[in-house]
Each structure stands twice: as structure tokens, then as C-alpha cells.
Amino acid sequence: MFHLLDILGTMAFALSGALTAMNKKMDPFGVFIIAFVTAVGGGTVRDVLIGRTPVGWMQNLDYVYMITIGYFLALVFRKSLDKLRTSLFLFDTVGLGVFTLIGLEKGIAINLHPIICIALGTMTACFGGVIRDILCNDIPVIFRKEIYATICIIGGIVFFLLRKWNVQEDVLYLTTSVVIIVIRLMAVKFEWYLPTLEHRNPPNG
């Protein structure tokens, strides 16, 4: 089930990236690249940082297949997908929870400090979107309005608190995922945003 959710989350991220690229009026190759980096960019950054090479998607072609499927679905059904944005959002949210857990586990596997593990989980879940936005010439969404990375950090803290209390592994994974998913849904529903910071130069004189 965990692997299935990982794969579905990958496809949802790929669809999200493809739709963003089409909104920017990119050509088919550009759309595919944006779909690809959105889906696996975070995991690639994580693997490079911890010295895990070849990176994950190079060792498991299931990710490449699902990204390609997501890409073609976006091309063929781009008009219909507007009506399915709620479903895509749900898959994206599930992917957020699953990818955070994957990043946490990669850090734990090589005995990294919990703070670094949480950073890896956040990167895994969020940095694909950061790379997407940079390539699309936008300020990354997570840096300007959406509570996205913060949710992953909260999920990581919950994970290590439960782990310290020796909670059963299945319950640990489920609880952490549910916390991330529920906070994400509530943040969107109730429009929770972090305050923006602005520096204004003092008036002359």
C-alpha cells in the first residue's frame, strides 16, 4: 500500500507539473521536463545530498513509467482535468504525506540526526515544486503563500515524537501521514497562510 501511494503521488505530482507547464504555453518537451522534475526533483535532491547514487528513479523505472503516463494524461485530457482538480489535489496531498515519510526513512537508515531527517523529508515532498516554479520563472509557491513545507516539518516532528514513545511502525506511518494530510486539507479549506515579510526603505531626508 505504501509503495502504491508513492506511485500515485508521483503521478499526481507529474500531472500537476504538466498542467503548470501548459499554462505557461511550453512545447511538449518542456511540459514533459516540468512534469518529470515536479515528480522526482525532491527525491533527486535528497539522494544527491546523502550520496545515494544512482538516484531512486534511475533504479526503479516504475517512477518513469508513471510520470510518462501522467504526462500523456495531461496532454490528452487537459480540458477535462480542470474538472478533476479536487481529485488531483487529494492525490497531491497524499503524495505530500508519503514523500515526507520516505525522506524521513532515508535519513534514519543512515543514522542522521532527527533535524536532518526532517529536512530530508521536507525536501523530498517540496523541492520538486520548487524546481518546477523556478524553471517556470515563478517565485516558488512554498516561499510566498502556501503552508506546504511547514506541514512537512510538523509531520516530521510528530513522527519522531511517536517514534520516541515506541509506537508500532504501522501506526507511526499512518498517524504521521494523517497529520500531514489533515493539516494540508484544513490549510486550504480555511485559507491558512504564513505572514509575508516586506522591507521598505526609509524615506529620504
Q: Are 153 and 160 in contact (CB under 8 A)?
A: no
Across the chain, mean pLDDT equals 87
Residue 201's pLDDT is: 66
C-alpha span between 143 and 62 (Å, rounded): 31
**Counted domains in the chain:** 1
- pTM of the shown model: 0.87
- Domain-embedded: residue 142: yes
pLDDT at 84 over 70: no
- Domain-embedded: residue 123: yes
Domain containing residue 73: 2-189
pLDDT at 205 over 60: no
Residue with cell 500537476: 16
